[in-house]
Structure 1
């Protein structure tokens, strides 16, 4: 008995028109769901049929361009927000400088209009240590007696 190998050739079914979702950048799984087939079949159609492949590529490019435009729009929005915050910070700093200047002018005016200081009160070094004694009465080098401490 001679065994003869059986060669099975799988035919790829003809590709239908790609769904509109393919032209909008849908994934192969989404296209397979729309066509009620498997991802493997969609992949085979993409490999074997140029028109189908071109429709998928066109959708992929459109999706990439849309994502790039969305990224650019987000970047522009972020830059506008940074500019707005920077302007608000500058305005706040300017207002703080103006308030500080007004306070300085107010203080300078108060100092200029203030009454002269009262006469200087005697300091402890100019007062006698005990009543009736003068600070110069103690001999040089002698310590003064402290009240409440026995000598």
Structure 2
């Protein structure tokens, strides 16, 4: 009986002072509730390539979206999209916002192509440095993650 009382008191003290957790909020759904912010999937392998045909540019974006076991189990709806950016000395400029696509928590490779005029890409003197940001967002929690590609130079 004495050992049991000691164990209970020790557990209560640790719980009050924030010591060793009694349950893990990340693995216990009832403890997690809606306040726990977990990753909203992952975005990897973001690349951009460009091909010019006259005054038109085809910008092709490739990336992968992945999900953990817990994200698959929870089955939240997700959306993904890409934005094209032009690098500037002060602030980068958003060139084009991609279409938001609803997806389920299944790993997938994605490819999208933007057809743009040289004028829409020409924001400053000389060559343009373009890059893309790919996003995935958990529509239930609002949490999102992003990854950027390397910059490519376009001679517009």
Q: Flag whether TM exceeds 0.5 (same fold).
A: no
Larger fraction in helix? 1
TM-score in terms of structure 2 length: 0.21
Larger radius of gyration: 1
1 or 2 for the larger relative contact order (CA 8 Å, sep ≥6)? 2
Larger fraction in strand? 2
TM-score in terms of structure 1 length: 0.21
